[in-house]
């Protein structure tokens, strides 16, 4: 129970008036970000990151992670009331959430959504509390080859588990690696891929990419869809909340299943969005009322929301324990750690106990605070969406531009942000996944360093990645993940092909 | 009789998805080629003291070329995407109504700085697209930028870009 005492230590770090205030600011900002189109968890955190440079790292991460929780909660509001998912992971919530709102059961749907978000996040945080220190302790034995094999596993599972074309995932990921390589080589000091443009010496900052890809790209996309907000009104009163809470325990099995799906998808870089869809699909198949899904079943709200939050939260586990983020937002938080001068990785648990446990404690408190804030202030947040798009759109572009500028105080970054915005729009339309690009951009240098160090150890012999049981099994797992689509397609083809041959 | 079908055809007209797919794949391929070229220039093999600078990016560039080549070939050869549209003209126009002003805005930032450019941008955008009155638009534009100014310059002490002409220099920040 070392973890529990460490956790209480963490609570003592968080429970100062200053940190509590930052937590509330973070939650409120996060919900607003989640409600607004074009601003989401990843780019919202990226834009606000420069404001925290002067803060102590613990306070900064508390505020930023609370923005993330807030954004997770906020996505549900727009899904239920407006049938517009504020975040990709709340798309599945619209399936049953909006029909419920149409039937005048918006309060019920929102309460169910918020509560199951909370349950999902809570289970994930409990898991982080006990699992993360173990993983970190285990990872302390890792050398460069082991680390590279874990990176390999992360990236291979993107290719293998991605829904779209694996070649597009690969292209998008390699684009991230290529952009990460631009600038000064950390080992030899040589300038790479700058082709004489000295401004590029700094390299491409992933924060700029995130703000452009997710912020500007999203604005262009929502403009194309021609947004017209015509939402349902929500009235949440304590009576509705209590009545809904009374019905929720009936769905404990769905909840538990969704938590498991979410935690698994969060730790492996599946992310919150596929987790929510998968959980909705599984719930539909397993539920007795499965056929009625899509017509306003409360279970159809519980399943995706629980999984999305569980996944969003547990994405922080690999970031904390291994220094490998499980989602774009976790990647931005990881970038924050680097900026505040902390070295992400297993040593964080040994050297920066206050920071790690403060963060974990703030996850508990942040989610409780988030639940209270969204339950009490839904009408206020919904009102934000009634601000016409012709006001919101330029303001968001301005905020993105400021966010991009403040990262390095460089005008060039605003241009790059705009470029990334167009790229984000085109990539989204062509089904290139953006998450691998961002993760590769964040991890590119570190993956390359560990690869080169591993190569130095072995004098250029690739067999170092199979040199002992640990690294060998991780590498093997990575390769299995990589070829998984081929394997599953082959199986499917054999199964589908047999009857044809027979006839 | 011809009227509705004509309108229908117009609604469905636009940029074919295969074309964009092919162009994007080609651009990625070209980028991959650049990466391979520069990595090769830096040295992509093994030097006396270990891997050279281009060692890792070389393979990144190679994978970029391979993956984009496959996407390109598929876009051209496969009939699956035939007839699919990347975007129809109507929505494209809407996208451009956001994108073009945004480009002009960033250009303006270059010269007059973030605050002035943002105020003008929000005002013009509201008047033009939202058809708000000039007074109301100007008030929102000014209000947003004034609060940003207070937040960044005074509260967080993070100076923002004032532009090459620096029209706000009289404020002393």
* Whole-number pLDDT of residue B78: 73
* Whole-number pLDDT of residue A40: 75
Domain containing B68 equals 2-83
Q: Is A496 exposed, middle or buried (0-12, 13-18, 19+ CB in 10 A)?
A: exposed
pLDDT in tens, A413-427: 999 999 999 999 999
| B94 shares its domain with B63 | no
Domain boundary among B46, B66, B83: B83
Domain assignments of chain A as residue spans, ordered by start:
2-50+59-502
CB-closest option in A220, A409, A452 to B56: A452
Domain boundary among B31, B56, B83: B83
Least confident of A226-235, A408-417, A479-488, B20-29: A226-235
Question: What's chain A's average pLDDT?
Answer: 84
- Who wins on pLDDT, B116 or A13? B116
Domain boundary among B56, B83, B110: B83
Cβ–Cβ below 8 Å for A452 and B21: no
| B46 shares its domain with B118 | no
How high is the ipTM of this complex? 0.89
pLDDT bucket at B9, cuts 50 / 70 / 90 = low
Residue A503 has pLDDT above 50, yes or no: no
CB-closest option in B61, B87, B103 to A224: B87
* Whole-number pLDDT of residue A86: 64
pLDDT bucket at B70, cuts 50 / 70 / 90 = very high
Q: Percentage of chain A surpassing pLDDT 70?
A: 95
Q: Which residue of A has its CA nearest to B136?
A: A391
pLDDT in tens, B98-128: 899 999 999 999 998 899 999 999 999 888 8
| B167 shares its domain with B127 | yes
Provide the domain count of chain B.
2
pLDDT bucket at A401, cuts 50 / 70 / 90 = very high
| B59 shares its domain with B106 | no
Mutate one of B51, B108, B130 to test the A interface: name it (highest A CB count within 10 A).
B51
- Who wins on pLDDT, A84 or A293? A293
| B10 shares its domain with B68 | yes
| B41 shares its domain with B115 | no
CA distance linking residue A409 with residue A315, whole number of Å: 30
Cβ–Cβ below 8 Å for B161 and A409: yes
Residue B69 has pLDDT above 50, yes or no: yes
Residue B12 has pLDDT above 70, yes or no: no
* Whole-number pLDDT of residue A501: 43
Q: Which residue of B has its CA nearest to A448?
A: B56
pLDDT bucket at A189, cuts 50 / 70 / 90 = confident
For residue B72, the chain A residues in CB contact (below 8 A) are none
| Contact in structure between B75 and B81 (CB atoms under 8 Å) | yes
Nearest-5° Cα angle at A413, A429 to B22: 30
* Whole-number pLDDT of residue A419: 95
| B70 shares its domain with B108 | no
CA distance linking residue A344 with residue A361, whole number of Å: 18
| B22 shares its domain with B93 | no
DSSP codes joined into one string, B80-129: TTTT-EEEEHHHHHHHHHHHHHHHHHHHHHHHHHHHHHHHHHHHHHHHHH
Cβ–Cβ below 8 Å for B126 and A390: yes
| B25 shares its domain with B65 | yes
Cβ–Cβ below 8 Å for B161 and A411: yes
The CA-atom distances, in angstroms, between A401 and each of A211, A216, A452, A492, B106 are 9, 9, 36, 48, 8
Residue B3 has pLDDT above 60, yes or no: no
Cβ–Cβ below 8 Å for B55 and A220: no
* Whole-number pLDDT of residue B122: 92
pLDDT bucket at A73, cuts 50 / 70 / 90 = confident
CB-closest option in B51, B86, B129 to A390: B129
Q: If phi over 0 gives left and psi between -120 and 50 gives alpha, with beta otherwise, what is residue A93?
A: alpha
* Whole-number pLDDT of residue A502: 40
Locate B172 and state its tokens: 């002393």
* Whole-number pLDDT of residue B80: 63
Q: Which residue of B has its CA nearest to A223?
A: B95
Q: How far is A478 from chain B (nearest CA, A)?
A: 17
Burial A391-411 (b: 16+ CB within 10 A, else e): bbbbbbbbbbbbbbbbbeebb
Residue A164 has pLDDT above 80, yes or no: no
Residue A230 has pLDDT above 60, yes or no: no
Bridge partners for A184 per DSSP = A191
Residue A500 has pLDDT above 60, yes or no: no
pLDDT in tens, A318-343: 888 888 887 788 888 888 888 888 88
| Contact in structure between A328 and A214 (CB atoms under 8 Å) | yes
Q: How far is B169 from chain A (nearest CA, A)?
A: 18
Q: What is the mean pLDDT of residues A146-175?
A: 85
pLDDT in tens, A310-321: 988 888 888 888
Q: What is the mean pLDDT of residues B78-91?
A: 75
pLDDT in tens, A366-379: 899 999 888 888 87
């Amino acid at each position: 129970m070392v973890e529990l005492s460490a956790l209480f230590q963490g609570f003592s770090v968080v429970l100062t008036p200053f940190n509590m205030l930052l937590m509330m600011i973070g939650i409120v900002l996060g919900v607003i970000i989640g409600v607004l189109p074009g601003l989401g968890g990843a780019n919202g955190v990226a834009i606000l990151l420069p404001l925290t440079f002067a803060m102590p790292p613990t306070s900064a991460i508390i505020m930023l992670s609370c923005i993330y929780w807030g954004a997770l909660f906020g996505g549900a509001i727009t899904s239920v009331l407006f049938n517009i998912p504020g975040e990709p992971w709340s798309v599945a919530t619209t399936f049953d959430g909006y029909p419920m709102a149409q039937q005048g059961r918006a309060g019920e749907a929102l309460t169910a959504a918020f509560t199951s978000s909370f349950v999902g996040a809570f289970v994930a945080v409990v898991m982080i509390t006990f699992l993360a220190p173990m993983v970190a302790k285990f990872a302390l034995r890792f050398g460069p080859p082991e680390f590279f094999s874990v990176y390999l596993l992360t990236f291979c599972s993107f290719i293998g588990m991605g829904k779209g074309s694996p070649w597009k995932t690969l292209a998008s990921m390699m684009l991230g690696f290529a952009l990460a390589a631009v600038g000064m080589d950390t080992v030899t000091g040589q300038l790479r891929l700058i082709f004489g443009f000295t401004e590029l010496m700094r390299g491409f900052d992933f924060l700029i990419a995130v703000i452009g890809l997710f912020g500007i790209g999203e604005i262009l996309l929502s403009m194309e869809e021609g947004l017209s907000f015509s939402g349902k009104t929500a009235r949440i009163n304590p009576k509705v909340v209590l009545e809904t809470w009374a019905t929720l325990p009936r769905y404990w099995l769905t909840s538990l299943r969704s938590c498991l799906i979410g935690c698994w998808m969060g730790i492996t870089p599946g992310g919150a969005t596929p987790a929510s869809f998968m959980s909705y699909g599984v719930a539909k198949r397993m539920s007795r009322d499965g056929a009625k899904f899509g017509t306003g079943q409360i279970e159809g709200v519980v399943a995706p929301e629980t999984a999305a939050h569980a996944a969003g939260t547990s994405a922080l586990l690999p970031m904390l324990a291994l220094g490998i983020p499980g989602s774009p937002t976790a990647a931005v938080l990881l970038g924050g750690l680097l900026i505040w001068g902390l070295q992400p990785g297993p040593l964080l648990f040994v050297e920066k106990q206050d920071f790690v446990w403060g963060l974990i404690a703030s996850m508990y408190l942040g989610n409780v605070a988030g639940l209270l804030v969204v339950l009490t202030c839904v009408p206020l947040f919904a009102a934000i969406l009634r601000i016409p798009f012709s006001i919101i759109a330029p303001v968001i572009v301005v905020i993105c531009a400021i966010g991009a500028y403040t990262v390095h105080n460089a005008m060039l970054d605003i241009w790059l942000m705009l470029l990334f915005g167009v790229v984000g729009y085109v990539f989204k339309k062509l089904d290139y996944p953006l998450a691998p690009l961002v993760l590769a951009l964040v991890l590119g240098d570190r993956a390359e360093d560990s690869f080169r160090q591993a190569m130095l150890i072995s004098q250029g012999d690739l067999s170092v990645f199979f040199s002992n049981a640990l690294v060998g099994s991780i590498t093997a797992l990575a390769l299995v993940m990589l070829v998984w689509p081929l394997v599953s397609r082959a199986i499917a083809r054999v199964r589908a092909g047999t009857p044809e041959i027979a006839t | 009789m011809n009227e509705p079908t004509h309108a229908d055809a117009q609604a469905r007209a636009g940029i074919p998805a295969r074309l964009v797919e092919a162009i994007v794949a080609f651009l990625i391929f070209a980028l991959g080629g650049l990466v391979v070229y520069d990595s090769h220039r830096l040295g992509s093999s093994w030097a006396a003291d270990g891997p050279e600078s281009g060692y890792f990016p070389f393979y990144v560039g190679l994978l970029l070329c391979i993956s984009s080549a496959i996407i390109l070939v598929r876009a051209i050869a496969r009939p699956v995407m035939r007839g699919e549209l990347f975007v129809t003209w109507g929505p494209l126009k809407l996208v451009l109504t956001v994108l073009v002003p945004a480009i002009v805005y960033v250009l303006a930032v270059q010269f007059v700085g973030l605050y002035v450019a943002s105020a003008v941008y929000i005002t013009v955008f509201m008047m033009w697209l939202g058809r708000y009155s000039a007074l109301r638009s100007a008030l929102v534009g000014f209000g947003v930028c004034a609060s940003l100014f207070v937040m960044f310059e005074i509260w967080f002490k993070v100076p923002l870009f004032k532009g090459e002409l620096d029209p706000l220099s009289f404020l002393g920040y």
